[in-house]
């Protein structure tokens, strides 16, 4: 009976807590803007038509079995996933300098990448990784779990509700040489604020000068702009300039495969031999962590990415999701500025990209949205654009208007 007496009760995860509060609320006009998953205009989860099609193909395949996959995953998934993020013209792919492993979605890719760093990266001083301030909260926990201490770098400027570019550059410059920096490849979570291409170029310059390592987290390829290639721009640019790097990739959002846990981790090596050594060690780590990754979601994505017609349909489905979100940004901005004449500048709603938007609301205003309007959002002022639809848009806008007045 004494064994677990000293285990303290952990606080609930704030996002999951918010969802539970939303679910138990009986107010008819309640809105959930905390959710990190796509909803259609009727506020329903959306199974992509291309995923339905691929699932049917799998179900009707008489050769399908439930054997183990290789330790590093389904080879035809890994190679297609690498090509998707790095592009068909990738020099690293051509030179066989990419070590790809299938992971438990993006979270698993971040974990495996972090674990590999903690084992094999030659840290210049204490084991540290630089994370944007703010970042996806799980990044902190993932790195701490493997003994790497997170350090904040300047990223978001509350005054402009935009990028603190100068702060970011000076953080890169003042960090010790060879520091790992985590970069959101596109659609920064939670702010929706991304560097421009010109800014990425300058960021890459400093990475090269300081020999920093780029730990790219790419959870929203295609979901941000509606275009898979456009959202991969920063990753491909860094690869082209030979910045030392890895990429964590998730198919949760862009294929709506949240619960299937489909992801990949890609290391870019200096040459083919180094890349093979990396892959062998990733394989050893993966073996003791999960033995081998799950097959179903990877098979779905392998079918979609390796078949021209299915791939075209996926791109269409991605456009459907991304453009609904972009449309909601435009409409929300319009109602706030043209109809309600809400005080303040709201252009950041249009400038920001991806699922999330930092509204600029402070903690008290965000709390008022929850308590007075039954609109569930996090205390940092972040809203998920996918919770907004043509039916609740006016209610959300009016409530934002009241909250800031």
> CB-wise, 36 or 222, nearer to ligand PLP?
36
Nearer to ligand PLP, 250 or 392 (CB): 250
Q: From the CB of 65, what's the least distance to ligand PLP, in Å?
A: 26
- Determine, following the binding rule CB under 6 A, whether residue 293 of this chain makes contact with ligand PLP: no
Nearest approach, Cβ of 113 to ligand PLP (angstroms)?
A: 11
What's the CA gap between 349 and 385, in Å, rounded? 10
CA distance 115 to 109: 10
Task: Return the beta strands (E) in 232-332 as ranges.
Answer: 245-250, 262-268
- Residue closer to ligand PLP, measured from CB, 105 or 399: 105
From residue 55 to residue 94, what is the string marking binding to ligand PLP with x (rule CB under 6 A)? Answer: ----------------------------------------
Asked whether the beta carbons of 308 and 302 are under 8 A apart, the reply is: no
Q: Cα–Cα distance between 57 and 63 in angstroms, integer?
A: 11
Considering the complex, state which of residue 232 and residue 336 has its C-beta at the smaller distance from ligand PLP: 232
Q: Is 387 in the site for ligand PLP (CB under 6 A)?
A: no
166: tokens are 């100068």
Residue 219 near ligand PLP by CB under 6 A? yes
Instruction: Give yes or no: 315 in active site.
Output: no
The one catalytic residue in 30, 53, 210, 253 is: 253
Total of residues contacting ligand PLP (CB under 6 A): 13
Which CA distances in Å does 326 have to 108, 320, 357, 380, 383? 29, 10, 11, 22, 14
Q: Which residue of the set 136, 231, 317, 346 is catalytic?
A: 136
C-alpha distances in Å from residue 328, one per residue of 92, 325, 378? 38, 5, 19
Would residue 217 show up in a list of annotated catalytic residues for this protein? yes
CB-wise, 90 or 105, nearer to ligand PLP?
Answer: 105
- Using CB under 6 A, which residues numbered 140 to 179 contact ligand PLP? none
The catalytically annotated residue of 30, 46, 194, 217 is: 217
* Residue ranges with strand state E in 185-313: 213-218, 245-250, 262-268
Question: Two tokens at 223?
Answer: 């979901």
Residue 189 CB, shortest distance to ligand PLP, in Å, is 4
Helix, strand or coil for residue 356? Answer: strand
Among residues 75, 70, 180, which one has the least CA distance to residue 118? 180
Q: Three-class SS of residue 380? A: coil
Indicate which single residue of 222, 263, 297, 387 sits in contact with ligand PLP (rule: CB under 6 A): 263
Residue list 14-43, contact with ligand PLP (CB under 6 A): 36
Among 54, 80, 252, 400, indicate the residue that binds ligand PLP (CB under 6 A): 252
Q: Applying CB under 6 A, which part among 6-14, 93-101, 200-208, 250-258 lies near ligand PLP?
A: 250-258
Q: Is 134 in the site for ligand PLP (CB under 6 A)?
A: no
247 binds ligand PLP (CB under 6 A): no
Binding mask 89-128 vs ligand PLP (x if CB under 6 A, - otherwise)?
Answer: ----------------xxx---------------------
The closest alpha carbon to 239, from 88, 113, 94, 92, belongs to 92
Residues 101/279, Cβ–Cβ less than 8 Å: yes
Between 289 and 398, whose beta carbon lies closer to ligand PLP? Answer: 289
Asked if 189 interacts with ligand PLP (CB under 6 A), we say: yes
Q: Is 217 in the site for ligand PLP (CB under 6 A)?
A: yes
Q: 291: buried, middle or exposed (CB in 10 Å: 19+, 13-18, 0-12)? A: exposed
Phi and psi at residue 210, in whole multiples of 5°? -95, 0
* 317: annotated active-site residue: no
- Sequence-distant (6+) residues with CB within 8 A of 281 are 116, 119, 120
Residue 257 Cβ vs ligand PLP, minimum distance, rounded to whole Å: 9
Q: Which is nearer to ligand PLP, 245 or 400 (CB)?
A: 245
| Token code pair at residue 277 | 């050594």
Provide the minimum distance between the beta carbon of 180 and ligand PLP in the complex, in angstroms, as a whole number. Answer: 16
- Kindly tell me which residue out of 90, 132, 179, 250 binds ligand PLP, with binding defined by CB under 6 A: 250
Provide the binding-site residues for ligand PLP, judged by CB under 6 A: 36, 105-107, 136, 184, 189, 217, 219, 250, 252, 258, 263
Instruction: Kindly list the catalytic residues.
Output: 136, 217, 253
């Amino acid at each position: 009976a004494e064994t677990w007496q000293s285990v303290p009760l952990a606080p609930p995860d704030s996002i999951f807590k918010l969802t539970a509060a939303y679910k138990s609320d009986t107010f008819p006009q309640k809105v959930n803007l905390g959710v990190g998953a796509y909803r259609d205009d009727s506020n329903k989860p959306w199974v992509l038509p291309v995923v339905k099609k691929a699932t049917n193909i799998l179900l009707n395949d008489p050769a399908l079995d439930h054997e183990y996959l290789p330790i590093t995953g389904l080879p035809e998934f890994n190679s297609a996933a690498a090509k998707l993020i790095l592009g068909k013209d990738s020099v690293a792919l051509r030179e066989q300098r990419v070590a790809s492993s299938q992971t438990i979605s993006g979270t698993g890719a971040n974990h495996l990448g972090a674990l590999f760093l903690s084992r094999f990266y030659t840290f210049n001083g204490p084991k540290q990784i630089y994370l944007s301030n703010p970042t996806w909260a799980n990044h902190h926990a993932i790195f701490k779990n493997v003994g790497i201490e997170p350090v904040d770098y300047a990223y978001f400027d509350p005054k402009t509700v935009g990028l603190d570019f100068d702060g970011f550059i000076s953080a890169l410059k003042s960090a010790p040489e060879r520091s790992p920096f985590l970069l959101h490849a596109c659609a920064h979570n939670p702010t929706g604020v991304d560097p421009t291409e010109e800014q990425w170029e300058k960021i890459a310059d400093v990475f090269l000068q300081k020999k920093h390592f780029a730990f790219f987290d790419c959870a929203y390829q295609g979901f941000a702009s509606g275009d898979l290639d456009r959202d991969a721009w920063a990753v491909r640019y860094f690869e082209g300039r030979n910045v030392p790097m890895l990429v964590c990739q998730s198919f949760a959002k862009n294929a709506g495969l949240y619960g299937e846990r489909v992801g990949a981790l890609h290391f870019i090596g200096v040459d083919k031999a180094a890349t093979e050594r990396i892959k062998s060690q990733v394989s050893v780590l993966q073996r003791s962590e999960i033995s081998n990754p799950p097959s179903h979601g990877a098979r779905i994505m392998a079918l979609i990415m390796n078949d021209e017609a299915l791939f075209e349909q996926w791109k269409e489905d991605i456009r459907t999701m991304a453009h609904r979100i972009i449309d909601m940004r435009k409409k929300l901005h319009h109602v706030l500025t043209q109809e309600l004449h809400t005080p303040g500048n709201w252009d950041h709603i249009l400038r920001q990209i991806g699922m999330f938007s930092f509204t600029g609301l402070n903690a008290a205003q965000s709390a008022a949205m929850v308590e007075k309007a039954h609109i569930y959002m996090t205390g940092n002022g972040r809203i998920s654009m996918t919770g907004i639809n043509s039916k609740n848009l006016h209610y959300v806008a009016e409530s934002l208007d009241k909250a800031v007045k």
